[in-house]
Structure 1
Amino acid sequence: MSTAAEAFRSPQAVVPQGERGATRIADRVVAKIASQAAREALGAPPPDGSPPHATVSVHPRPGHSANQVAHVRVHVELGYPGDIGAHCRAVRRHVAERVGTLVGMHVPEVAVHVERLHLSPAHGADQGRIR
């Protein structure tokens, strides 16, 4: 038997059972986590509004064989008037933190798309236009 074959069979070359294999988390699973994180950041959707939804694209992280990068796009509907910038910052921060924590992926950016603005009940359409 050659020394290379002996080294291969030595106990040092055996990978422990819990460290073998690979884990693949589907993009749609990461998207569900991102959607839920956006809901947590925003609270209840405005009346007649839809809850946030997300799309995700997962890629290998360059130079890191075991790590992946998640590019996240979150679509939200917000109440108006309101601080749109603050809501978007809160969504970006919370989604990046939750995806990173729960699935161990690097999230370099979270694109937030505001799909619709909903008038709050106090500023409803029944008041007419204000000049």
Structure 2
Amino acid sequence: MADGGAPTEGRGSVAAAERGATAIADRVVAKIAARAAREALDGVPEGGAPPRATVTVHHDVARVRVSLELDYPSDIGGQCGAVRHRVAERVEALAGMDVPEVAVQVERLHSVHSRRAAQGRIR
């Protein structure tokens, strides 16, 4: 470093392409995606499971599938859209990967009405 700045080429420094690469495991990206999905939702339905994610990464491009459970009745399409947006945004920001696709799969709907009925039967 000649003046306290970045190293200069040719004076013992190594070019960026020759220093190596950072690899982020698919399971790490999946954890980022699942956490982002939780952030996008108002919360996990009572008795429901938190969102789960699976990811396939190829050349810094992540394809994400999120499985989740939602309360019913609710704006299912709106919640799925919010999850897609948040997951893509967080994976791009934290892992530096392009996310062209986030598939959201609703595994189960938790009815507020059936919960109330079940609570009324418990003594």
Sort the TM-score into its range (normalised by shorter chain).
0.7 to 0.9
Rg larger in 1 or in 2?
1
1:45 partner amino acid: V
How far has the Cα of 1:43 moved from its partner? Answer: 2.8
RMSD: 2.1
- 2:23 maps to 24
Please state if 1:86 is matched with 2:68.
no
Q: Alignment partner for residue 91 of structure 2, among 99, 117, 128?
A: 99
Aligned to 2:106: 114
Q: Any stretches of 5+ residues in structure 2 without a counterpart?
A: 1-8, 119-123
Structure 1 residue 124: Cα displacement:
2.3
TM score, norm. by length of structure 1: 0.76
- Counterpart CA distance in 1 for 2:42 and 2:74 is 14
Deviation of 1:105 after TM superposition, in Å, equals 0.0
Partner of 2:5: none
Q: TM-score, normalised by structure 2?
A: 0.81
2:67 to 67, 71, 75: 75
The unaligned stretches of length 5 or more in structure 1 are 1-9, 61-67
Partner of 2:78: helix, strand, or coil? helix
Percentage identity across paired residues of the two chains: 62
Q: What's the CA shift for 1:16?
A: 5.0
After superposition, give the CA deviation of every residue in 1:14-47 in whole Å (9 maximum; x if it has no partner): 4257x72110000000000000000000032001
Matched positions, count: 108
